[in-house]
Amino acid sequence: MKSRCNARNVAIFLSFCFAIVLVASWTKMSDGTWNVPTNDDNPHYRLQISDKMALAECQGKLKQTSKMSAISSAGNGPKELPEILEPLANKELKPPGEASPEEELERIWNYMYQRQYHCTESKYLGGQPSGPFKGDGAYDLCVEKQFWPQGGDKAKCLVYSFGINNDFSFDDEMAKLGCEVHSFDPSMTLADNSVTNTGVIFHKIGISNEDNDSGFNGWKMRTLKTLIKELGHEDRHLDFLKVDTDRGDGTGFEDVVMQELLETGLYKCVRQFSFELHMPGPLTQPRLLNRCRLLYRQMRALNDGGWRLYNTTDNVRWYKAQVNQDYTQRSNKNDIVKGGGAVILWESSFVNFEVTGTCKEVLSR
């Protein structure tokens, strides 16, 4: 009995030493996550996922979000839905809808800059190639297999792009990747159903919360649900949805799109969503304050549905070109509450961890 216990103690001790050596091979990345060597990186790496989780917990080296990221990078299955940690600064604020304009802005500001997921493979596509507005119109595409499963569907990837303003650069790049791309903009003079030289199909239609052949500004407007049906895409996933629209009053239609995604359940068939968020001031105006609160609630509701914000870019290109080359988003923040004419523009991207079916399947539930 004594020799058996000694043998077991030796085995435990050797396992503990091996664990220490293994953890020493982990590399902490600049974003605070940990890079765990794969089997290819380290021929001695033999821990299973459950063992790795237990080891991380025992060593106290990883938070839940970092831990799940490390696990999924070493495994072959889909990545786990990362936990969202509330920004510490937001915990001091009054509840959403009850706080002052200053606090409501602070809440959404902190939300937009806290990355909820780190996409390890992405492409920044489109945009102005040079000049004072370099990069304007570009958006990020996460090409990790879970969110960009090329060849996973019978049909090729499907892209809806709302708001073109005669700049097809992003849409063209998506078409070059082999996607079926549909571009929508009722303000352009291009003929409806035109096809560009890259194969992009243009629709002289705007996005709205109702179907109307003479809606906003007299334009033909459609809901997302109606467009999916009219274009015959009900049995497809919407692989990439981009919304970069302008109402002319400093706001856009991104809130309309997010509301429809939530109310219809279409968020369950969209793999990635990129949009420009418009935040005009002054937030002392009830209409603009309520919109600020709505946008925050909508994004948190999408979080509850499995979406994670992985990229936010400040769009201050116009201010840099026309006002001050040193202009930053924080310069806008100082004026957005009480100042007049200030607009915060964020180019933001989400990935969906919980795609549950085609658009037709999620609409029928």
Task: Give yes or no for residue 276 having a pLDDT over 70.
Answer: yes
Instruction: Identify the band that residue 149 occupies on the pLDDT scale cut at 50, 70 and 90.
Output: confident
HEC states along 23-87? HHCCEECCCCCEECCCCCCCCCCCCCHHHHHHHHHHHCCCCHHHHHHHHHHHCCCCCCCCCCCCC
The candidate with the shortest Cα–Cα distance to 173, out of 130, 133, 123, 132, is 123
Q: What's the predicted TM-score (pTM) here?
A: 0.78
Instruction: Identify the band that residue 104 occupies on the pLDDT scale cut at 50, 70 and 90.
Output: very high
Lowest mean pLDDT across 48-62, 105-119, 172-186, 232-246 = 48-62
Pairing outcome for strands 122-125 and 139-142: antiparallel
Task: Give yes or no for residue 58 having a pLDDT over 70.
Answer: no
Residue 46 and residue 38 in contact, taking contact as beta carbons nearer than 8 Å:
no
Residue 59 is predicted with a pLDDT of: 36
Residue 326 is predicted with a pLDDT of: 86
Task: Give yes or no for residue 290 having a pLDDT over 50.
Answer: yes
Instruction: Identify the band that residue 275 occupies on the pLDDT scale cut at 50, 70 and 90.
Output: very high
Q: Residues 350-360: what's their mean pLDDT?
A: 97
Residue 154 is predicted with a pLDDT of: 54
Helix (H) or strand (E) holding 158: strand 158-162
Task: Give yes or no for residue 117 having a pLDDT over 90.
Answer: yes
Q: What percentage of the chain's residues is helix, strand, coil (to nearest 5)? A: 35, 20, 45
Residue 298 is predicted with a pLDDT of: 98
Instruction: Identify the band that residue 327 occupies on the pLDDT scale cut at 50, 70 and 90.
Output: confident
Lowest mean pLDDT across 18-22, 53-57, 290-294 = 53-57
- Residue ranges per structural domain of the chain: 2-74, 89-363
Query: Rounded to an integer, what distance in angstroms lies between the CA atom of residue 185 and that of residue 220?
Result: 10
Burial (CB < 10 A; 0-12, 13-18, 19+), residue 115, is: middle
Tell me the pLDDT tens digit for each residue of 247-268: 988 899 999 999 999 999 999 9
The torsion region of residue 347 among left (phi > 0), alpha (psi -120 to 50) and beta comes to: beta
Spell 26-46 as b/e; 16+ CB within 10 A means b: beeeeeebbbbeeeeeeeeee
Residue 244 is predicted with a pLDDT of: 96
Residue 205 and residue 222 in contact, taking contact as beta carbons nearer than 8 Å:
yes
Average pLDDT value for the chain: 81
Residue 3 is predicted with a pLDDT of: 46
Task: Give yes or no for residue 284 having a pLDDT over 90.
Answer: yes
Task: Give yes or no for residue 210 having a pLDDT over 50.
Answer: yes
Q: What is the dihedral of CA 62, 63, 66, 68, to 10 degrees?
A: 100
Q: How many CA atoms lie within 13 A of 217 on its CB side?
A: 15
Residue 332 and residue 316 in contact, taking contact as beta carbons nearer than 8 Å:
yes
Query: Rounded to an integer, what distance in angstroms lies between the CA atom of residue 358 and that of residue 227?
Result: 15
Residue 199 is predicted with a pLDDT of: 97
Residue 150 is predicted with a pLDDT of: 65
